[in-house]
Amino acid sequence: MQNNKKQFLTGHEVVVQAALDAGAESMFGYPITPTCEILSGWFESGKKCLQTEDEIAAGFGVCGAVLAGEKSFTASSGPGHILLQDSFSMAEAMRLPVVLIVGQRGGPSSGTVIYSQQEVILACFGGNGEGMRLVYSPSNLSELYLLTRRAFNEAWKYRYPAIVLTDGYTLKIRQNVDFDQFKKIENIPPISLIPENKIVHWPNIYTAEEELNIVLENTKNDFENIAKEIVSFESKEIEDAEILLIAHGIVGAVTKIAVEELRKQNIKVGLFRPITLRPFPKQELDKICGWKKIKKIVVVESSFGQLARIVRDQLAPEIDASFDYLQKPGLGIEPEEVIEFVKNIKI
């Protein structure tokens, strides 16, 4: 970890430092904005690094490294994130502790190169599996460091692939990060997943439908059992809230500022910010929305409803609060926009 307790760093630098502190030994990657500086920063660290011919090769390179018992990761965005779903589907099937840092960019296709929240569904449910992976959404650089450390630790502890879902704004801004607050984090040590001198039959292809069904049932049960140990969220001003704003990532940070200002104007609004998108903090949200005071749920996001889709799917069917949406795909959202939107809501 950095010798100085507090550092003024970019998000890229925070990711590299977190990976180093997590004990990562290698990175496989292909340059793509806005995550290029993670790859170049890792090159400068002196650790093992391979710039592959594409993201497909990068993903499978990480799979090979973790099979050999090495903490390894990659970073990508947009079209590269799409290509990585092939290797991530295999990692999901084989329970490989692969770690991926995603800097979301606007789509579809190559779109814009800096910012969006349009890769939520891809991160949570991409590939041809059932979305049995860990997905974290940081709202600031201190949280980016913490969640990157968690991604490595929890991927190796629970044996699921893990994604830190960030964006170009978060990766390119600079903030003070006090590393002293993280000094007690202990690393989960890596182990070789292939026993030495033993033949291992470890399939990710099944000839019998029934055999695959059993594997999926076991994986699902394991995922549900560990959820309570992993789920994280932030709530603010929910005790008497009539309007509940739901947002994640950097939009969650903006929405928090809006809630603070709206409260000064005596508007009963609260915030629920999921920090883990997979597994989703369903029980915690159900509890908050189950209070009779919540009359309106507003999902705020830089997409056309990707977070909203997950919220509606996860929310208990007996919750009768009505929904509204502030959606700006590919665009940043300012606190003033959230404030104006809420003040125009009729409940």
Q: pLDDT, tens digit, for every residue of 159-177?
A: 999 999 999 999 999 999 9
Tokens representing 108?
Answer: 């579809």
Q: pLDDT, tens digit, for every residue of 207-258?
A: 999 999 999 999 999 999 999 999 999 999 999 999 999 999 999 999 999 9
Give the percent of the chain with pLDDT over 90: 92
Q: Could you give the CA distance from residue 29 to residue 191 in angstroms, rounded to a whole number? A: 23
Give the per-residue pLDDT at 305.
97
Kindly list the distances between the CA atom of residue 110 and the CA atoms of 113, 163, 276, in Å, as whole numbers in the listed order. 7, 20, 26
Predicted TM-score (pTM) of the model is 0.96
The answer to whether residue 3 scores a pLDDT higher than 70 is no
24, 15, 138, 162: CA torsion to nearest 10: -30
Q: Which domains does the chain have, with CATH numbers?
A: 6-189+202-230 (3.40.50.970), 233-343 (3.40.50.920)
